[in-house]
Amino acid sequence: MKALARLAQLAAVAAAAAAAIAALLRLFSGPKHASAPAPRRSLGAAAPAAPPAPAAAEAATSEATPPAPAPPADQDAAERDDLEALWEEILATAEGRSATPPPPEPPRDALAAVLEEAAETMPRYGGAVPRRSAASYLDEGNIYFNVGQYAMAIDRYSRALELDPENAAAYYNRANARARLGEYDAALADYNRALALAPDDPDVLNNRGMLHLVRHRIREAIDDFDRALAIDPQDTTVLVNRGLAYLQAGEADRALADFRQAAAIDPADAAAHYGAASALAVLGQRSEALAALERALALDPSLAREARNDPRFATLQGDTAFAQLLARVQP
């Protein structure tokens, strides 16, 4: 009975620790449960707003659970010892203490692995370990995405979708990860599915538009940016992206209008000033292009490296003022 009492104590502490870690994961990923990094002029990973779902451990502790029945008197003592050791491992993982080193395997969340093993082990003892939720897999995928582990992120988003096939955030985040890996057809399918579930989400429209732009489907990209701006006309990210699309389409004057509008909304947006400089250079307005580029480099000196090799500044190559401007910047 002493071992069972210890087991019950460990179960309660482990559930609380798991809930605390789930909360930390949400904070790491952003203020919303289904969030991820915001998209910044690339195939980023901002998750659309989604109804918050409780983490698995939180759901398990929200209702009173009857105590697990005591095992039969003739139950093998070794099994009880194994079970207690499993809970000790959960606690060690949750508290950051040293535990028995796991065998080498692909990177994965240690607590998630232990909880999954416990979920398979515990049914014969009353089902004390909660099952994983779609929201917890979504948060876990966001962690992997943030550190560049896109294949692992895709795996976690796919697991979330197995549990919740109508989760727009999971489709969107998986699309972002697939786009980072160059899996463009699969990414497009996921963006389309996300938009079928959340047709007015400007983040999904923006990132699908960027995917079209990468694939040189310029008109489709502009259509997506137009739809996103109809929802939020003040979104400088989408304005800059549409400006880039207009530049690729050879419409430098329309591109300049978008870049200038973005810079007016957010004067600290370096990408908007850089875009304006490139459009002005294409239009042959050299002095204005240099002034806009100087503003961009003051905000983000790293853009000097891009400007040196940007074909849109071809008209400025050989210009002493252009060379001096780039030489003054230390990216």
pLDDT of residue 132: 86
pLDDT given at position 316: 93
In this predicted structure, the answer to whether residue 75 has a pLDDT above a threshold of 50 is no
Q: Are residues 245 and 188 in the same domain?
A: no
Q: Of 194, 222, 243, which one is at a domain's C-terminal end?
A: 194
Both 92 and 163 in one domain: the answer is yes
37-41, 68-72, 114-118: least confidently modelled range: 37-41
More confident residue, 113 or 237: 237
Q: Does the pLDDT of residue 121 top 60, yes or no?
A: no
Examine the domain organization and report whether 71 and 12 are in the same domain.
Answer: yes
* Predicted local confidence at residue 80, as pLDDT: 45
Ranges 97-101, 134-138, 223-227: which has the least confidence: 97-101
Query: Do residues 108 and 187 share a domain?
Result: yes
pLDDT value, residue 88? 52
Q: Which domain holds residue 316?
A: 233-331
Average pLDDT over residues 162-179: 97
User: For residue 201, is pLDDT > 80?
Assistant: yes
The lowest-confidence range among 42-56, 140-154, 291-305 is: 42-56
pLDDT at 37: 40
Per-residue confidence at 182, pLDDT binned at 50, 70, 90?
very high
- 203 domain residue, yes or no: no
Looking at 173, 194, 215, which one is the last position of a domain?
194
Mean pLDDT of 86-114: 48
Based on the fold, state whether residues 255 and 329 are members of the same structural domain: yes
The confidence score (pLDDT) of residue 207 equals 98
In the chain, how many domains are there? 2
Does any domain span residue 138? Answer: yes
Confidence at residue 108, expressed as pLDDT on a 0 to 100 scale: 54
Query: Mean pLDDT over residues 159-170, rounded?
Result: 96
Lowest mean pLDDT, pick from 54-68, 103-117, 168-182: 54-68
Q: Are residues 92 and 183 in the same domain?
A: yes
More confident residue, 88 or 258: 258
- The mean pLDDT of 224-228, rounded to a whole number, is 98
What is d(CA 282, CA 303) in angstroms, rounded to the nearest whole number?
Answer: 18
* Domain finish residue from 145, 170, 194: 194
Q: Is residue 202 in a domain?
A: no
pLDDT confidence of residue 53: 34
Residues 244 and 182 grouped into a single domain: no
One domain for residues 174 and 257 = no
SS3 string, the chain, reads CHHHHHHHHHHHHHHHHHHHHHHHHHHHHCCCCCCCCCCCCCCCCCCCCCCCCCCHHHHHHCCCCCCCCCCCCCCCHHHHHHHHHHHHHHHHHHHCCCCCCCCCCCCCCHHHHHHHHHHHHHHHHCCCCCCCCHHHHHHHHHHHHHCCCHHHHHHHHHHHHHHCCCCHHHHHHHHHHHHHCCCHHHHHHHHHHHHHHCCCCHHHHHHHHHHHHHCCCHHHHHHHHHHHHHHCCCCHHHHHHHHHHHHHCCCHHHHHHHHHHHHHHCCCCHHHHHHHHHHHHHCCCHHHHHHHHHHHHHHCCCHHHHHHCCHHHHHHCCCHHHHHHHHHCCC
In a domain, 209, yes or no: no
140 pLDDT more than 70: yes
Residue 152 belongs to a domain: yes
Mean local confidence (pLDDT), 17-29 = 34
Task: Render the burial of 88-106: b for 16+ CB within 10 Å, e for the rest.
Answer: bbbbbbbeeeebeeeeeee
Q: What is the CATH number of the domain that holds 51?
A: 1.25.40.10
Percentage, residues of the chain above pLDDT 70: 60
Kindly state whether residue 200 falls inside one of the protein's structural domains.
no
- Residue 211 located in a structural domain: no
Q: What is the pLDDT of residue 329?
A: 84
**Co-location of 190 and 242 in the same domain:** no
| Model confidence at 98: pLDDT above 70 | no
Confirm whether 24 is domain-assigned. yes
